[in-house]
Amino acid sequence: MTKIPRHTPLWDQCNFSMKILWQRCEAYFKRHGITENERFYTDYHTGLQELNNSWAQSENLEVITFGDTVKKMFLTGNYPQKNLRFWNIGSRFKEIQDQLLFQGEDVVNAIPRYELFNYQDSKPIDWNKRIDFVFAGRLSRQKNIDFLILFVDELQRLEIDCRLHLFGDYDERIQEHLGRQTKESAKTSLTHVIKSLECVKPIFYGHVESEEWLKKDFSQPVVISLSTFFGEDFGVSIAQAQEKGWPVICSAFGGHLDILGNQVGLVSPSFMMNGLLCLEAKKILAEKAAQFFLKERFREIKPALKQPSLKFVSQGSCDEKRRELIKTIGPSVHWLCTDTLDNFSDLSDGGLFIRKCLEILEGEKREKDIIILSAHARESLSEKEAFFLRETLQSMDGSSFDIILSHELTFKDNLYLLKRANHAFLSPDVDEKNKAIIRKIFP
């Protein structure tokens, strides 16, 4: 065992992306003359010592968060400055802070995505020729790599000439917002998925340096990410590919909702949000996701770009708002502040708070449909239940739904969903006791 030098950057597998974002943010602040105050990046800094050099020498502090907003917004009491100005790099994470912490006030500043990265219009894709789908990033459950592989396999089965290219290292982190989970290595899990494929298997390249993945000789490259990572605030690899003029296919979730361009394909996060279902259920979801995607394929997206308000908020006001929010969550917030989001998500009030955050990250403004599967749907589907799931998805427009397992109906976050649902579709495998609960909610 050797000692890591003190000035070595704190290690995180997202460090490469965060360093790029830090550099781009610093350039943004200098370009706009926002340099008079200390800037504190809550998720990234180049070493420990630098935090002590000028800490608390001024009354104002710029607080910049990358993705870890839900945890970091409870730690504002750690800043000794009198006035704080909050920054995010994703409009949905700004909205989480504004809506849930600051009770609907327009307080947090979102740096416009295309002030950090440029983009070029893409050439139209010729669907009669070979397409190379390219993912670059962590090969992690958080990024739904298993679903991505199944999605491309379904496109191939639907006679789209395409291949999936995966650049990056395996990463063992889980979708913490889904609660505590037993762990299987990411490589073992993906190997199991790949063995089940019907068509051409993906190509794994492992780790490559810097932007080397962008220099590969692809025929018609399309950058793709179906991530529903709870901290998905930006997507650096997508931004890098757009600078080269690549089209995009991405989940309509989190920072991806800030993406604009003349060729952007969006996949509803409803298909990917159920990462703990069995492989058969995921295959049915991927099948329907691919079918719905092919109905529209790419579209032109020009979101309304809002410039930051540059507001400061006093430390006293932050303390007051934070206390009010914690009253609604209760003592379970302890688990969030000790960096154990999976524990927090498994608690009643914690799960409900996560659900409210997901509503914002999913960008859904209308009522959802709810599909209720049996308690064993995480292990397997019966023939009847598989048929039910496939037919139910086919009957819906495919864009906005949630899946709940019958033995979890009375969880606080699931009752919150059910009471706001448009329709509930009940699997024939659900037991009579839980059918009775649904009849009370939907008489």
- What are the pLDDT digits (tens) for 366-390? 678 999 999 999 999 999 999 999 9
Q: Is the pLDDT of residue 60 over 70?
A: yes
* Residue 60 placed within a domain: yes
318 and 388 together in one domain: no
Supply the pLDDT for residue 401: 94
Q: What is the DSSP string of 353-370?
A: HHHHHHHHHHT--SPPEE
Q: How many domains does the chain have?
A: 3
* Residue 165 placed within a domain: yes
Is residue 364 classed as helix, strand or coil in its secondary structure? coil
Supply the pLDDT for residue 315: 93
- Cβ density class 80-101: b for 16+ within 10 Å, e for less: ebebbbbbbbbbbbbbbbbbbb
For residue 425, what are the CA distances in angstroms to 371, 385, 393, 413? Answer: 5, 12, 10, 18
CATH classification at residue 156? 3.40.50.2000
Rg (C-alpha) for the chain, rounded Å, is 22
Instruction: Classify burial at 198, counting beta carbons within 10 Å of its beta carbon; exposed 0-12, middle 13-18, buried 19 or more.
Output: exposed
Percentage, residues of the chain above pLDDT 70? 94
* Distance, CA of 78 to CA of 84 (rounded, Å): 11
Residue 27: CB atoms within 10 Å: 12
311 and 285 together in one domain: no
End-to-end CA distance of the chain: 64
* Residue 102 placed within a domain: yes
The answer to whether the CB of 301 falls within 8 A of the CB of 259 is yes
What does pLDDT average to over the chain?
91
H or E segment and range at residue 88: strand 83-88
DSSP H stretches of helix in 119-213: 145-157, 186-195
* Residue 329 placed within a domain: yes
Paired residues of 131 in beta bridges: 162
Instruction: Classify burial at 108, counting beta carbons within 10 Å of its beta carbon; exposed 0-12, middle 13-18, buried 19 or more.
Output: buried
H or E segment and range at residue 110: strand 109-110
Phi (first) and psi of residue 334, to 5 degrees: -55, -40
228 and 287 together in one domain: yes
296 and 322 together in one domain: no
- pLDDT, tens digit (0-9, with 9 covering 90-100), for 214-267: 999 998 999 999 999 999 999 999 999 999 999 999 999 999 999 999 999 999
Is residue 2 classed as helix, strand or coil in its secondary structure? coil
Supply the pLDDT for residue 54: 65
28 and 64 together in one domain: yes
- pLDDT, tens digit (0-9, with 9 covering 90-100), for 316-326: 999 999 999 99
* Residue 3 placed within a domain: no
The CA-based angle 168-247-165, given to 5 degrees, is 30
Supply the pLDDT for residue 336: 87
The answer to whether the CB of 193 falls within 8 A of the CB of 279 is yes
Look up tokens 């070979």; give the residue: 130
Q: Is the pLDDT of residue 51 over 60?
A: no
Q: Is the pLDDT of residue 292 over 70?
A: yes
245 and 295 together in one domain: yes
249 and 170 together in one domain: yes
256 and 149 together in one domain: yes
Tell me which of 282-291, 303-312, 313-322 is least confident: 303-312
184 and 290 together in one domain: yes
The answer to whether the CB of 203 falls within 8 A of the CB of 163 is yes
Q: Which domain holds residue 143?
A: 131-301
Q: What is the pTM of this model?
A: 0.95
- pLDDT, tens digit (0-9, with 9 covering 90-100), for 67-119: 889 999 998 888 889 999 999 999 999 999 999 999 999 999 999 999 999 99
Supply the pLDDT for residue 363: 84
287 and 320 together in one domain: no
257 and 332 together in one domain: no
* Residue 352 placed within a domain: no
For residue 279, what are the CA distances in angstroms to 144, 146, 184, 271, 282? Answer: 13, 9, 14, 13, 5
The answer to whether the CB of 227 falls within 8 A of the CB of 251 is yes
Q: Is the pLDDT of residue 45 over 60?
A: yes
* Residue 40 placed within a domain: yes
Supply the pLDDT for residue 385: 97
* Residue 44 placed within a domain: yes
162 and 296 together in one domain: yes
